Amino acid sequence: MKQVDIKIEKTARYFVLGTPSDKITDVWFVCHGYGQLAKYFIKWFEPILNENTLIVAPEGLSRFYWNGFSGNVVASWMTKEERNSDIDDYVHYLDKVANEVQHELMTVNINILGFSQGASTASRWAALGKTIPTNLILWAGSFPIDIDYLENIERFNKFPLHFLIGNSDELFSEEIIRQYLVEIKQKEIQFNLSRYNGGHKVLPKPLLELQKTLFK
């Protein structure tokens, strides 16, 4: 049996909070987690919306029913099947979204934030895409092991890396967090770590604190 790959056009979507104008100084590209939809995920970022901020939520290219053949429709960025092709596809898609959004704006700060599964998506986009972020923010998610930091060291040194993890995140025990931070340090990746009271979700208080930290 022979596998044949073919490139096709696909209609994708993204959602926006805020109005593009010459007042916009900060754009947040926020990548949702596994089993979410961008139109709901983007609402988590309403607390940081102001006249200088634009929030853009791309959606994973694979949508599916959460419960078998019915129920809520959700999205995913990739699976282990044809993972390299999926990564290439969504990096290209995210670059296209960024180009379309920035075309309407002046010079802005670009914040790429990934939540949960979206943290790996955001990391790969920052490493492999054409969009260079002002900040890369990984919220309740990890830096993927398939990115060779040393091969991309010049690129990653161009922007700060921020981790946010809740003290009661059901997916991250303290031991998992400790081991993960050891691995990141061994790779000589410079990063900032923030802990907050809460679970596996983007919460208003730490989000507002992050915004203040980035642009104080």
In a domain, 161, yes or no: yes
| 31 within some domain | yes
Segment 179-185 shows an average pLDDT of 83
Which residues constitute the domain of residue 139? 14-214
**216 pLDDT band (50/70/90 cuts)?**
low
Q: What is the mean pLDDT of residues 157-174?
A: 90
In the block, residue with structure tokens 């949508």 = 63
- Please, which residues have CB within 8 angstroms of residue 127's CB and are 6 or more apart in sequence? 147, 152, 155, 156
Q: Rounded to whole angstroms, how far apart are CA atoms 7 and 13?
A: 19
Question: Is residue 190 domain-resident?
Answer: yes
34 domain-assigned = yes
142 within some domain: yes
Residue 1 domain flag: no
pLDDT per position as a tens digit, 86-142: 999 999 999 999 999 999 898 899 999 999 999 999 999 999 999 999 999 999 998
Looking at the domain assignment, is residue 2 inside a domain?
no
* CATH code at position 52: 3.40.50.1820
Could you report the per-residue pLDDT of 13-24, keeping only the tens digit for each? 999 999 999 999
Number of domains comprising the chain: 1
